[in-house]
């Protein structure tokens, strides 16, 4: 079974892998990067309103190279995204099937790590924090400076575009207000700051 790495803030499927261990290397729940293996695994991500219909459409367009603007409803969007994900080239060697025994009561099937109540609670809390702090975190005059030689983000993603705005500025420095006006996204800046790609202040 294929394991997909879904990066919610960057609206991208970062890869598809035969083995859980290969996919798990990209797992980063704190930054809303999850590993899923079934269409149903997308549903818990919808609950805290992080994986919105708009983000699903953007992921779908990134995979198919189409320019769909919207879909009929969230259920349709999930189905179409999952179908598109099946076209992604799977990386790594396909594991050899081994005989399986029925799981014991309360036992999680091997290789599956479903979202827990703690994960959902974390997503809900970050949603509230983002709403409360959107306007107060940085002022328009706050300076942002890139401290990497090259854009470390994956091309053709929102994160890459946001980082490129900083990289192409004079001396790799730009004010927060100019960054937002040029199309940069607050969540991408937070991610790059956490990863040490930029400094702020």
pLDDT in tens, 110-153: 555 566 676 666 666 655 544 444 454 788 899 999 999 999 99
Give the start-to-end residue ranges of the domains of the chain: 3-98+112-133, 143-200
Report phi then psi at 92, rounded to 5.
85, 170
| Residue 174 clears pLDDT 90, i.e. is over it | yes
Per-residue model confidence (pLDDT) at position 46? 83
Distance, CA of 127 to CA of 48 (rounded, Å): 7
- pLDDT higher than 90, residue 45: no
| pLDDT recorded at residue 120 | 64
Q: pLDDT tens, 46-87?
A: 865 588 888 999 999 999 998 899 888 888 899 999 999 999
Span 4-36, pLDDT tens digits: 999 999 999 988 999 988 889 999 988 889 999
- 106 burial class (0-12, 13-18, 19+ CB within 10 angstroms)? exposed
pLDDT of residue 97: 66
Burial 32-69 (b: 16+ CB within 10 A, else e): bbbbbbeeebbebbbebebbebebbbbbbebbeeeeee
42: pLDDT strictly greater than 60: yes
Instruction: Pull the structure tokens for residue 104.
Output: 């014991």
pTM here is 0.47
pLDDT of residue 126: 59
Q: Which residue has the higher pLDDT, 155 or 101?
A: 155
Strands 12-17 and 33-36: unpaired
């Amino acid at each position: 079974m294929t394991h997909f790495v879904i990066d919610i803030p960057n609206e991208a499927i970062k890869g598809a892998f035969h083995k859980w261990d290969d996919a798990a290397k990209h797992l980063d729940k704190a930054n809303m990067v999850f590993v899923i293996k079934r269409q149903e695994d997308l549903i818990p991500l919808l609950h805290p309103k992080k994986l919105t219909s708009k983000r699903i459409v953007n992921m779908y367009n990134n995979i198919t190279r189409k320019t769909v603007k919207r879909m009929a409803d969230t259920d349709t969007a999930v189905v179409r995204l999952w179908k598109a994900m099946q076209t992604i080239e799977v990386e790594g060697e396909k594991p050899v099937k081994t005989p399986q025994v029925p799981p014991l009561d309360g036992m999680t099937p091997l290789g599956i790590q479903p979202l827990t109540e703690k994960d959902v609670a974390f997503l809900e809390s970050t949603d509230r924090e983002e709403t409360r702090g959107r306007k107060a975190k940085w002022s328009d005059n706050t300076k942002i400076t890139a401290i990497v030689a090259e854009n470390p983000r994956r091309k053709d993603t929102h994160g890459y575009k946001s980082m490129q705005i900083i990289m192409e500025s004079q001396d790799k420095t730009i004010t927060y207000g100019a960054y937002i006006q040029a199309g940069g996204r607050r969540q991408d800046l937070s991610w790059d700051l956490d990863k040490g790609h930029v400094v702020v202040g």
